[in-house]
Structure 1
Amino acid sequence: MIEGHDILCFAPGPWDDIWRNRHQLMSRLARANQVLYVEPWPELRPTLRRLRHGQVGLGDLKPPRLRRISAGLSVFRPATWAPRATRVPVRAVTDAVFMASLRRAIHALDLQRPILWLFLPEMDIFVGRFGEKLVIYHIVDEYSGYTGISAGWRPTLQRAEERLASRADLVVVTSPELLQRKKGLNPNTVLVPNAVDYEAFAGACGSGQPAPRELADCPRPVAGYVGAINDKLDLPLLARTAAEASRWTLVLVGPVIVESPDGQQALDQLRSLPNVKFVDARPVEDVPRYVAACDVCLLPYRIIEWTKHIDSLKLYEYLACAKPVVATDVPAARRAGDVVEIAPPAETLTATMEHALSSDNPDVRARRRIIASQNTWGIRVEQLSAAIESTLRTRLEPAREHSPGAANPAAVK
């Protein structure tokens, strides 16, 4: 792992969100580096809209906050009373407030020449503002494929991504499909897939612990999905499956963030069924127990641009628990081979769930765990570190030509 660097990470979600790629990586890099995780800067129009609708009160408009998570990891929350504006006169004011408060946090932590780590196309506005020694653009999704993105906004988003990728020193993608699509934007683009905290999941699933309280009395068998419940899931398919598979309990664990009308309608149907159970998002340390409580785990993705480019973090977690996995026909599931049951195009997942349960055996369970053990976050941190060190060496080559005594790249701060 790289050591002794300062990392300024602009994240697309809060630290206390369900754990994703960025949480796993930054928490590990912070063991040998100083990481400042910057939570999303709220936008003015959505904030005003939430105020008008009573979704937030004036008491929710808070000042900036810097908090220490561990010796090497701090989290900065921007002021919610100064959200980002889009119109120039107001934007100048909110930008100044944001930058001043962030620079105070950077000064308090004594960050020097940080590695600037960015996750979204619109974050190109931060490049060149912090004296950074390296810019990383980390692509975890085909952002233009998000279902909430309007057709009119997609070209703007794609131009922003092209601009950021061209300015970045290193572009990281999480799936082969993203690599194929993005490698033309920057010659220094590397594939670093998602992974699993193998010890946590394999340990929970082999410990014989009782099922979590919410699932203790659920009739068996249990088919479960653990993760964000959003518009990338085929919720109508799940609703039809739950209605047909009356002997099964369908468990959905995670925050519900559904905007599409058909998704909302399917949610209403799911909530009305007696064999469906929703569980709110759980702390990261509890998640393995919910996977362990499932007899079959589900990846019920819609077949859309968004899901055609994902590398499912959930899949690695399911495999670490050696669970049978039923998935719709997305590339991420196909890459796993025969340890995942791909559901054929059908009205429901019921037949595939039944086959996955009945055909489970010790040999395939062992192979699932082998695949998971070869895809851990520790391995991913080492892959990222190698790419970062290589990029730093390349950047320093011109300096070495003019200054033979230039510092070792790993020591540059």
Structure 2
Amino acid sequence: MNFIYFSTLAWDEADGAHNPTQIARALAQRGHMALFVEPQPSASRDSVNLPLRVVALTELGMSPMQLRRAWYGLDSGEMNHIAENLLQLICAWDAAPPRVAIFPAPFDPFVRLIPFLRAHNFSMVYYAMDDFAAAPALGYTQFATGAEEYLVRHSDVLCAVTSHIAQSLERFGKSAHVIPNAVDLKMWDTSSSLKGTSIERGELTLGFWGTLMDSMIDADLIAYVAQARPRWMIHLLGACDPEAHRPSIAARLEKFPNIFFHGAVPHAELPRYAAAFDVAVAPFPDNAFTRGRDPLKVYEYLAAHLPVVVSYAPQLAHVPYVFIAHSPAEFLQAVERAAPTPIDHRELDAFLEQQSWDARAEALLDILPTTTRRITSNTSATLLPTFANPNVETVMRYANALESELAQVQNWARALEQQAQQRTAFSGVKRLLPTRKTHS
């Protein structure tokens, strides 16, 4: 088969550990041709010796302004030239049928391409990574409700990473398969020779990695733990407060002397940090989005042979060595139970070996032959109009982002102007200084 994977995540985001990159790579490793479409060009595209190509929307002709507008939930504009460039890629690539387009999220520019893809013999797969019905309440403007409904109704195959998401998609009258996330075990060195990085340790040392923003972690829960157990050390790894309009995680937690921010850490360095932790934590907020997640970090924590404590995620109850809490007090108790729990490495490794990306790719391939729709020759190739339906808050957020970036540009311009003035003044002083004569 020949696949196009339309991803809202860059190929190299989290060093490529996320679902879209891993599934695309696993399909290519099985000999299937795969075209991975990302929003903007990633810095690294490690697809050597694989029938796989990575291309960005901006490389297909989408302007940065169009992409920015789409990300903020506004009209993504005219896209016919993007479709034409994509078709040229497909033809040059000799991607003969059967062709399959995979969508992990209802991103407006991608969903608008569905009639065009259908007209060129593509079947559609919606492999939902999150419960996007719950996303707008958390301020995620890039996922339009109308786009998801259209995507579900016009997909030949529906998949989801959790049963919660699969049940959510049933509101459209269609059933979905469940294919969870997985983990790449090759990067996890759990040998006794692995030395942990030098960090502040306490009676217990807790660790978290991931994006630090209010929709992803519960800052109040972390504050509760830090205050209740001042001798525990809590280490937070990841970009902090990447979206300025959201409540600041740093402002809420930086006053605690037992909480440490490490910033973004290369994925390859995570095993060294994990070796210094006693318990890995996932302090998720209590909302529907959390209950739909299948967090990659939990698989990675387990690959590091750490007990894991998560909040408000009952969907993980079947996972070994995962302790689930439904309140701050329960979270404390769960950490205290998890820390002394002996881990049977052989049992855990046997579980994790079944959670491979190759196994997930195989599960996806298994459901395609019997559910792929027959393509009709008279399907219209006209692109869909935008699904964007912005409200005042969305428009203001976009305007504020532009204003903030304009202020940055103005600051850079002033700094350059000052440097130029200083160089000019220095040159003037040099001209006034007497010239030294040299004697031969």
Report the TM-score range of the alignment, normalised by the length of the smaller protein. Answer: 0.7 to 0.9
Aligned partner (choices 344, 349, 352) of residue 369 of structure 1 = 349
Cα distance between partner residues in 2 of 1:243 and 1:333: 27
* Structure 1 pair 244–375 and aligned structure 2 pair: CA distance change class (3 A): same
Query: Are residue 35 (structure 1) and residue 20 (structure 2) matched?
Result: no
Cα distance between partner residues in 1 of 2:362 and 2:192: 29
- What's the counterpart of residue 391 of structure 1? 371
Q: Which amino acid aligns with 1:271?
A: E
* Structure 1 pair 88–303 and aligned structure 2 pair: CA distance change class (3 A): closer
The answer to whether the 8 Å contact 1:195/1:380 transfers is yes
| TM-score, normalised by the number of residues in structure 1 | 0.75
Q: Which amino acid aligns with 1:320?
A: A
Cα distance between partner residues in 2 of 1:6 and 1:242: 50
**Shift of the alpha carbon at 1:235?**
1.3
Query: Are residue 209 (structure 1) and residue 194 (structure 2) matched?
Result: yes
Q: What are the equivalent positions in structure 2 for 1:12-411 lying under 5 Å apart?
A: 12-18=8-14, 19-31=17-29, 32-40=31-39, 69-70=47-48, 71-79=50-58, 80-81=63-64, 83-84=66-67, 91-92=77-78, 95-113=79-97, 114-121=99-106, 122=108, 123-130=110-117, 131-146=120-135, 157-183=144-170, 185=172, 187=174, 189-201=176-188, 204-211=189-196, 215-220=197-202, 221-230=204-213, 231-257=215-241, 259=243, 263-264=247-248, 266-336=249-319, 339-346=321-328, 349-358=331-340, 360-363=341-344, 365-392=345-372, 395=374
Alpha-carbon deviations, 1:75-105, whole Å to 9, x = none? 112324462568999923xx13433443444
- What's the counterpart of residue 7 of structure 1? 3
* Structure 1 pair 65–186 and aligned structure 2 pair: CA distance change class (3 A): farther
Alpha-carbon deviations, 1:98-130, whole Å to 9, x = none? 334434443443333431111222332111313
* Structure 1 pair 333–260 and aligned structure 2 pair: CA distance change class (3 A): farther
Q: Which amino acid aligns with 1:302?
A: P
**Shift of the alpha carbon at 1:349?**
3.7
The 3-state SS of whatever aligns with 1:128 is: helix
* Structure 1 pair 314–90 and aligned structure 2 pair: CA distance change class (3 A): closer
Alpha-carbon deviations, 1:277-306, whole Å to 9, x = none? 223334444433333332101111111010
Query: What 5-or-longer segments of structure 2 have no aligned partner?
Result: 378-440
The 3-state SS of whatever aligns with 2:83 is: helix
* Structure 1 pair 257–186 and aligned structure 2 pair: CA distance change class (3 A): farther
**Shift of the alpha carbon at 1:40?**
2.0
* Structure 1 pair 216–16 and aligned structure 2 pair: CA distance change class (3 A): same
The answer to whether the 8 Å contact 2:131/2:168 transfers is no
Cα distance between partner residues in 1 of 2:287 and 2:311: 11
Cα distance between partner residues in 1 of 2:221 and 2:75: 48
* Structure 1 pair 99–88 and aligned structure 2 pair: CA distance change class (3 A): farther
The answer to whether the 8 Å contact 2:211/2:239 transfers is yes
Identical positions, percent: 23
* Structure 1 pair 355–177 and aligned structure 2 pair: CA distance change class (3 A): same
RMSD across aligned positions (CA): 3.5
Cα distance between partner residues in 2 of 1:286 and 1:24: 19
* Structure 1 pair 260–236 and aligned structure 2 pair: CA distance change class (3 A): farther
* Structure 1 pair 250–103 and aligned structure 2 pair: CA distance change class (3 A): same
The 3-state SS of whatever aligns with 2:317 is: helix
Moved more, 280-289 or 219-228: 280-289
| TM-score, normalised by the number of residues in structure 2 | 0.71
The 3-state SS of whatever aligns with 1:277 is: strand
Q: Which amino acid aligns with 1:176?
A: S
**Shift of the alpha carbon at 1:237?**
1.0
**Shift of the alpha carbon at 1:344?**
4.8
**Shift of the alpha carbon at 1:167?**
0.7
**Shift of the alpha carbon at 1:74?**
1.7
- What's the counterpart of residue 401 of structure 2? none
* Structure 1 pair 290–7 and aligned structure 2 pair: CA distance change class (3 A): farther
Cα distance between partner residues in 2 of 1:246 and 1:273: 9
